[in-house]
Amino acid sequence: MLVGLGISAACAIAAIVAAAGTAAMAFPGRPEPWTVHLMRRAAATAAWAAAAVYSLGFFAVLASESDFNDGANSVPAPACRDGFDPATIEGLSHHRSSYLPLRFDCVREDGSVYASDPGYVWMNGATAVLALCAALFAIGAGYATELRARKAAAAA
- Cross-strand bridge partners of residue 113: 107
Question: CA 58, CA 111: separation in Å to the nearest integer?
Answer: 25
As for how many domains the chain has, the answer is: 1
Ramachandran sector of residue 71 (left: φ over 0; alpha: ψ -120 to 50; beta: rest): left
Give the pLDDT score at 81: 79
Question: What is the residue-wise DSSP string for 43-63?
Answer: HHHHHHHHHHHHHHHHHHHHH
Give the pLDDT score at 64: 83
Question: CA 61, CA 4: separation in Å to the nearest integer?
Answer: 11
Q: Domain residues for 23?
A: 2-155
Q: Are 62 and 4 in contact (CB under 8 A)?
A: yes
How many whole angstroms from its chain centre is CA 96?
A: 20
Residue ranges of the alpha helices (H) in the chain?
Answer: 2-23, 34-67, 78-81, 86-89, 119-155
Give the pLDDT score at 49: 93
Q: Which amino acid is at 8?
A: S
Give the pLDDT score at 68: 79
Question: CA 156, CA 67: separation in Å to the nearest integer?
Answer: 66
Q: Which amino acid is at 112?
A: S
Render each residue's pLDDT in the chain as its tens digit; 156 residues: 677 778 888 888 888 888 888 888 777 877 777 888 888 889 999 999 999 999 999 998 888 888 777 766 667 778 887 878 888 778 888 888 898 999 988 888 888 888 888 888 999 999 999 999 999 999 999 998 888 888 888 887
